[in-house]
Amino acid sequence: MELPKQALVTTRTKRQGRELERKIRDRSAKLGVLGLGYSGLHLALEMAHSGFHVTAIDIDSAKVESLKGGVSFVTDVQNEELYSAVVGGTLRATQSFAAMELLDAISICVPTPRRTTRDADLSYLLAGVEAVHNHLTPGKLVIIESTISPGTTRDTVLPILQKSGRQVGRDFFLAYSPKPRHFGTPMTRDITKVIGGMSPRCAALADLLYQQFGKRTIQVSSLESAEMVKFMETTFRSVNSALANEMATLCSKFGVDIWEVIEAAKFTPFEFMPIDPGPGTGQGQRNCTALSNLSGISRMNGFKPLLVEIAELVNSQLPAMTSSRIADVLSKNQKSINGSHILALGIAQTRDGHDVRESLSLEILKSLHEKGAIVTYSDPHVLSIDLNRTTLRSIEITPSVLSDTDCVLILTDHSAFDYRAIVANSRLVLDCRNALRRQRGDNIVAV
């Protein structure tokens, strides 16, 4: 007796799902990561170290060739661990999208940077999803990790994958998991992965996959819930950073030490979560793309997120406020900012990190440069930057460099800096990170 067509489809879907589940459990599934940025490389390495054969795909030939040679282009990924995965055959790199044909699962980690119109540039994501569609084989699991607005996976990604007639849940599986933020931690294995699927089966397969390489996971009820988690986390950090920075300004007006206030507030009986003030949002980093997207989609749905927009406004003023504060301190030391030599320590967004995307430290240096300051910088994790159409290279910190500088500005408190030597050899040190809390000196000014 011939089975009805729907019964055949259901049977085939279950078979494909069971086969993918088996491959994931016995580590025979061939995995792929599209986009070799900070998160993509970490994810690919975690997969490879867990015994999977991983194909890393990126259009950037320099990254691909570097990975092939076992040379890391991410600060906290050591050459040794990358080289062992490449030589061991568990990790390979390619520029060819055709490599997706043989993969059982592909995680898309391409960037979605902010455009001048303040919304997200989805061009990299759309190109990546189009490539996946062109090589979409039966039973493939597709996981989106790029930062996108709630509804994007369902309304934008899914139609591309289904445009040739393939159906999610029947011919392929689709899930979303926000990529973790990195705060200088060497690995992300201890960060819980949030997972939302197009269907419960899609979510379950993605959940199972991430569990195989040591992830704690939590499933939410929908794609949109998973997408919103990123915005919740980013907004929470932005709002609290804005509060910390406004309190720092207020404390300055009253001649109060903000760091002492924060330290004391930790011991109050209510739940207080300290976020340090400084020249940036959330330990020197902001995610304007996520916040701008959230504001945009909220307004499209008839809601104005006042708290989110005010927090972003407060934090966007920090570079100008910091450079003005520097000018005031120099003036009190009989120096004009115009012509003063300022050495900035730390350009990366986070302590011991290398990422400078949307780093407010760059904005501060641009402001100082525009005011006539002679700007140099030192950062062991960022070898060069573009400043007002000029390329600057990180310089070595020596006693003579410090003594010849009018003002040393600590923007990111990397652990590699010798703060005792910095204070001992500098005329004036402006500390934006409370890095010198254990140091004493008449030349130290907290900003």
Mean pLDDT of successive 10-residue stretches along the chain, which has 447 residues: 50 77 97 93 93 96 94 82 92 96 97 75 95 96 94 96 95 93 51 93 96 89 94 82 84 86 82 72 47 58 70 78 85 90 91 78 89 94 86 94 95 93 94 87 85
Looking at residue 133, what is its pLDDT? 97
Looking at residue 320, what is its pLDDT? 80
Tokens 């945009």 locate to: 296
- Asked whether the beta carbons of 209 and 216 are under 8 A apart, the reply is no
Does 109 participate in catalysis according to the annotation? no
Buried b (16+ CB within 10 A) or exposed e, 424-443: ebbebbbbbbbbbeeeeeeb
Element spanning 63, H or E? helix 61-68
Residue among 437, 433, 435, 439 at smallest CA distance from 245: 433
405: tokens are: 């500088």
3-class secondary structure, 32: strand
Active-site entry in 202, 251, 288, 407: 288
N residues, the chain? 447
| Ordered alpha helix ranges (H), 183-222 | 200-212
* Planar angle of CA 55, 159, 119, nearest 5 degrees: 85
Looking at residue 183, what is its pLDDT? 42
* Planar angle of CA 319, 314, 253, nearest 5 degrees: 80
Looking at residue 306, what is its pLDDT? 75
**Cα 363 to chain centroid, rounded:** 18
Domains of the chain: 5-221 (3.40.50.720), 225-267+281-316 (no CATH), 318-447 (3.40.50.720)
421: tokens are: 């030597």
Residue among 157, 39, 28 at smallest CA distance from 102: 28
- Asked whether the beta carbons of 203 and 197 are under 8 A apart, the reply is yes
- Asked whether the beta carbons of 78 and 42 are under 8 A apart, the reply is no
Q: What pTM value is reported for the model?
A: 0.78
Rounded distance, CA 380 to CA 76, Å? 12
Identify the burial level of 98 via C-beta atoms within 10 angstroms of its C-beta, where 0-12 means exposed, 13-18 middle and 19 or more buried. Answer: exposed
Looking at residue 297, what is its pLDDT? 60
